[in-house]
Amino acid sequence: MALVGSSIQDAIARAALDPSAWQDVTDAFAADFRGANFVMVGYDLSIRQSITDAFAGYSPECIESYGAHYAVTNPYHATWDALPAGRVVHSAELIPEEELLRTEYWNDWLRPQGDLRNAMGAVLARDPGRLFIFNTHIELRAASRISKRLMQTLRGAAPLLNRSLEINRMLLGLRLDSTLLRFGLEPEDAAILFLGAQGGILYANAQAERHLAEGTLLQYDARGRLTFANLQAAASLAAAIKGVARLSDLNFHLETKSGSMEVRMLPLTEGVLDQLRVPLLVRTPVPALLVVLRLSPGTTSADQVLQERLGLTAAEATVALALAEGATIAEIAEARGVSRFTVRDQVKRAMDKAGARRQADLVRRVIELRRTR
């Protein structure tokens, strides 16, 4: 299936700008691949607003039973850790089918749903404090009909899904609508620009205006259109405006005096704009490209601070940060693919090391350290 101009591509692009729109992505896949269920789950401790897990095709009862029990018995969890991010695999590459068919997970959860022994998926992103997985389960009766086409589509979609997650992170989880574009409510460290079809600037936020005024990173060309001071970046922007950019042209880093700058560019189609609450001031003429720039996160992450200051392990630090973000024990266990008992034990050890008598004391300590790092 060609992704260009498809409902799946439009849904992925919308999700880049609106972290609450990932349900549309799984729904678009399910609409094009009857007989398959889709799910995207994960967490990102670096953004203010959580990206909600998205399911399509699974019954509410199956989703509930998975979280309550089968997430712990899922035999694939141990295999995801060694899987390179971005690689789409079939379940048979991870666990032989004959081994899967001997598990409680297949017999009691996969089989009653139409024998979902065939699955495909990918780790979209894996960083400290951040993990996202996109997965599909295929009913046995539909496997021979859709598996080949679905694998091709997933391989084409994986880098687009990853790019949308990156833009979510750069926008700090804030919805790109009239609220974000108002002065004072946008991400303080992200430069955001909407460009027209010829590269003219339709909108630039305060951070982007500062870069344009300085001229060391962003510049106006002789015709008043956006360009980069870096020649290679300028060529990538030109390719994006012409619609001939490769994925590597749309996602790259630039070294500046302040550090490494992440650059993400997203082509905007009518299908994307029609479902976004973009203010009228940037709707005429129609925006064709979104450009977002942000300094890469510093080398001293929140995880590292907790490990250094409190002596926590990497797992304990991740769990402590998740608690500070408001996640429950059950939510952390499901996101990390471990049992609730494991998470409770990690919380207890983190409390002991932090000198906290209550869980609330640990959360308060984590928040204090995050503010002072």
Q: What is the 3-state secondary structure (H, E, C) of the chain?
A: CCCCCCHHHHHHHHHHHCHHHHHHHHHHHHHHCCCEEEEEEEEECCCCCCCCCEEECCCHHHHHHHHHHHHHHCCCHHHHCCCCCCCCEEHHHHCCHHHHCCCHHHHHHHHHHCCCCEEEEEEEEEECCEEEEEEEEECHHHHHHHHHHHHHHHHHHHHHHHHHHHHHHHCCCCCCCHHHHCCCCCCCCEEEEEECCCCEEEEECHHHHHHHHHCCCEEECCCCEEEECCHHHHHHHHHHHHCCCCHHHHEEEEEECCEEEEEEEEECCHHHHCCCCCCHHHCCCCCCEEEEEEECCCCCCHHHHHHHHHCCCHHHHHHHHHHHCCCCHHHHHHHHCCCHHHHHHHHHHHHHHHCCCCHHHHHHHHHHHHHHC
| Res. 218 pLDDT band, cuts 50 70 90 | very high
Q: What is the pLDDT of residue 224?
A: 81
One-letter identity of residue 27: D
Q: Round to whole Å and give the CA distance between 38 and 271.
A: 22
CB 70: neighbour CB atoms within 10 A? 15
Tell me which of 183 and 354 has the higher pLDDT: 354
Top-confidence range, 49-58, 120-129, 153-162, 304-313: 153-162
Poorest-pLDDT segment among 38-52, 192-206, 294-308: 294-308
Residue 185 has pLDDT above 50, yes or no: no
Residue 92 has pLDDT above 90, yes or no: yes
Q: CA 49 → CA 24, 168, 198, 242, distances in Å?
A: 18, 10, 34, 34
What are the tens digits of pLDDT across the range 135-171? 999 999 999 999 999 999 999 999 999 988 888 777 6
Q: What is the pLDDT of residue 184?
A: 36
Q: What is the pLDDT of residue 274?
A: 58
Q: What is the pLDDT of residue 291?
A: 92
Query: Mean per-residue pLDDT for 123-131?
Result: 81
* pLDDT more than 90, % of the chain: 36
Query: Mean per-residue pLDDT for 226-239?
Result: 92
Burial level of 159, CB count in 10 A (0-12/13-18/19+)? middle
Quote the tokens at residue 260.
């490494």
Tell me which of 126 and 74 has the higher pLDDT: 74
Tell me which of 206 and 275 has the higher pLDDT: 206
Burial level of 290, CB count in 10 A (0-12/13-18/19+)? buried
The CATH classification of domain 178-295, taken from the options 3.90.1530, 1.20.1250, 3.40.50, 3.30.450: 3.30.450
Ramachandran assignment for 84, one of left (phi > 0), alpha (psi -120 to 50 degrees), beta (any other): beta
- Architecture of the CATH domain 7-170: 2-Layer Sandwich (3.30)
Tell me which of 331 and 105 has the higher pLDDT: 105
Q: Round to whole Å and give the CA distance between 302 and 127.
A: 12
Q: In DSSP terms, which residues pair with 264 in a beta bridge?
A: 251, 292
Poorest-pLDDT segment among 39-48, 84-93, 241-250: 39-48
Contact present, 206 and 216 (Cβ < 8 Å): no
Q: Round to whole Å and give the CA distance between 266 and 247.
A: 10
Evaluate whether the domain defined by 302-372 bears CATH number 1.10.10.10: yes
Q: Which of 129, 132, 127 is nearest to 19 (CA)?
A: 132
Q: What is the pLDDT of residue 280?
A: 42
CB 363: neighbour CB atoms within 10 A? 18
Domains 7-170 and 178-295 are alike in CATH topology: yes
| Res. 371 pLDDT band, cuts 50 70 90 | low
Contact present, 65 and 109 (Cβ < 8 Å): yes
Instruction: Say what the pTM is.
Output: 0.57
Residue 215 has pLDDT above 80, yes or no: yes
| Res. 317 pLDDT band, cuts 50 70 90 | confident
| Residue-range domain boundaries for the chain | 7-170, 178-295, 302-372
Torsions phi, psi for 42 (to 5 deg): 160, -170
Q: What is the pLDDT of residue 287?
A: 76
Residue 173 has pLDDT above 60, yes or no: no
| Res. 225 pLDDT band, cuts 50 70 90 | confident
Tell me which of 38 and 16 has the higher pLDDT: 38
What are the tens digits of pLDDT across the range 254-292? 888 777 888 988 888 766 665 555 544 444 466 788 898
| Res. 179 pLDDT band, cuts 50 70 90 | very low
- Classify the C-alpha dihedral 288-264-314-367 as positive or negative: negative
Q: If you average pLDDT over every residue of the chain, what do you get? A: 82
Residues ≥6 apart with Cβ < 8 Å to 12: 25, 157, 160, 161, 164
What are the tens digits of pLDDT across the range 63-72? 989 888 888 8
